Amino acid sequence: MTATTNEPAIDVRGLTKRYGRRTAVDGLDLTIPTGVVAGFVGPNGAGKTTTLRMLLGLVRPSGGDGTVLGAPLGAPAAYLPRVGALIESPALYPTLSGRRNLAALAVLAGIPRAEVDARVEAILDQVGLAGRGADRFRSYSLGMKQRLAIGAALLTDPDLLVLDEPTNGLDPIGIREMRELIRSLGDGDSLGDGDSDGSAEPARRGRTVLVSSHLLAEVEQICDWLIVVEGGRLAYQGPTDRLMASQSIDVVLRPEHPEDVAPLADLLAGLGLPSTRGVDDVLTTVNVGARDSREYTRALASVNRAAASRGVTLIEMSPRRDSLEDRYQGLVTQAQAQTQEARR
C-alpha cells in the first residue's frame, strides 16, 4: 500500500459528461482531502452517480482532468487497484455463502491463497457478519447484502472507498447499522498484510471514504467533508462544519413575564438589533464572525446586562440553528437559479 500523504485523494477540474445534447455533469471541480469521510449529495439527476462512474473509469469523461490518489484521471488502471467501490446494487453469487463469495473475490483480486481465509474472516467481522458468513447470500436481508458488498470492496484494503447510496432501500435499523459501519471505516483502521500467524491487524490510517447519499441527516452525522451538486454543477464543497457556520445567528429571547416582551423588543431596537415579537418571546439576529466565537458570547452578555438593567429577567437565550437540510436547500435553490440564468 502507498503511504498516506498530504496530497488530495481526489483533485479534478472541469469534469464534464455529455450525452448528446444533455449535459449530465457540467465543469465540476472536486478537491477531496486524504483521510476524510466525504458526503456527495444532491437531488436525483444531479449527476452524482455519473461523476462516481467517471472517477472509477466506468464512464469516459467528455472533458476535464486531474488526479485520483495521485494518478491521472485519464489512466484509471494506475489507481483502481487502490480503490474499493460499491456502485448501485450488490452483485454477488446468490447461492454461495457470504464467506465463499468473499473468498472467490479475494482470489480474483490477487490476494495470496495462504492469506485469503484470514482476510475473509477479518472482513466479515469488520462489517458485522461474522456470525452469518456460512449463510447463502440470497438469504441475507438487504442491509446484510449491502454490508457484504462493502466487505468485498474492502478486501484489497483500499486507500479510497466509494459508496453510491449505501443506505438506499434500508429500513431505519439498517440505516443506523450502515451509518455505524461507515463511521468505523472513516476512523481509518485498515487491514494489514497479516502477521506470521496469518491474522490481519490494523496497520495503517488515512483511508478516504466518498459516500453518495440523498439522506442529509445521515451525511451530517458521518461526514466531515461535504460536496453539494445540482444540475451537474458544484454548489458547495468543503468542511461540513463550515457549511453550518454563519455570520449571523437568530436567537430566541424569552423574558420571565410575557408583559416584558414589548419592553424587550424596544431595548433591542435601542441596541441596534432587529426583533420580531412573539406571544411570550422575541426573535433577534446577532451578527458574529462564527457561531461559537467569543464575539457571539459577548453580544448575548451585552443583551442580558441591558435587559437586567431595565428590570427584565431573561429565562431563555437560545440560538435557532439551521439544519443541514436548510442550508442544503438554500444551496440547491441558488444553484438552480444560476443554471436558469446561464441558459437565458
Residues 100 and 210 both lie in one domain = yes
Task: Name the grid cell of 150.
Answer: 462493502
- CATH code at 103? 3.40.50.300
Same domain, 63 and 201: yes
In terms of C-beta distances under 8 Å and separation of at least 24 residues, what long-range contacts does 53-56 make, across chains too? 53/87, 54/15, 54/17, 54/25, 55/10, 55/12, 55/162, 56/80, 56/83, 56/85, 56/87, 56/162
pLDDT digits (tens), the chain, 344 positions: 334 457 899 999 999 999 999 999 999 999 999 999 999 988 888 899 999 999 999 999 999 999 999 999 999 999 999 999 998 778 899 999 999 999 999 999 999 999 999 999 999 999 999 999 999 999 999 999 999 999 999 999 999 999 998 988 888 888 888 888 998 887 654 444 444 343 333 333 479 999 998 767 677 788 999 998 888 889 889 998 777 665 567 899 999 999 999 999 999 999 999 999 999 999 998 876 544 567 778 888 999 999 999 999 999 998 876 556 666 666 666 666 666 665 55
Statement to judge: residues 86 and 36 lie in one domain: yes
Answer whether residue 5 is part of any domain: no
| Inside any domain, residue 333 | no
Please tell me whether residues 285 and 212 are part of one structural domain. no
204, part of any domain: yes
Let me know if residue 291 belongs to a domain: yes
Closest CA to 182 of 137, 128, 241: 128
* Sign of the torsion angle spanned by Cα atoms 168, 62, 33, 294: negative
Question: Which 3 state secondary structure label does DSSP give 296?
Answer: helix
Look at residues 223, 243, 263 and tell me which one is the last residue of a structural domain: 243
Co-location of 23 and 120 in the same domain: yes
Total structural domains in the chain?
A: 2
Cα(138)–Cα(142) distance, integer angstroms: 10
CA distances from 138 to 118, 145, 187, 297 (A): 24, 8, 30, 57
Same domain for 215 and 272, yes or no, is no
Do residues 223 and 83 both lie within one domain? yes
Q: Dihedral sign, CA of 53, 125, 206, 241?
A: positive
Q: Which of 185, 219, 243 is the last residue of a domain?
A: 243
Q: Residue 158 is placed in which grid cell?
A: 483500499
- Express each pLDDT in 52-83 by its tens digit: 999 999 999 999 999 999 999 999 999 999 99
pLDDT of residue 299: 85
Same domain for 239 and 315, yes or no, is: no
What is the residue range of 32's domain? 10-243
CATH number of the domain bearing residue 293: 3.30.70.270
Sign for the pseudo-dihedral over CA of 76, 43, 91, 222 = positive
The answer to whether residue 332 sits within a structural domain is no
| Same domain assignment for residues 31 and 117 | yes
| 187 and 252 share one domain | no
Asked if residue 292 and residue 204 are part of one domain, the reply reads no
Residue 337 maps to a domain: no
DSSP-assigned letter for residue 333: H
Q: What is the pLDDT of residues 326-338, one digit of tens each?
A: 666 666 666 666 6
Among the candidates 189, 213, 243, a domain finishes at 243
Tell me the pLDDT tens digit for each residue of 133-142.
999 999 999 9
155 and 89 in a single domain? The answer is yes
Q: Which three cell numbers stand for residue 157?
A: 484494503
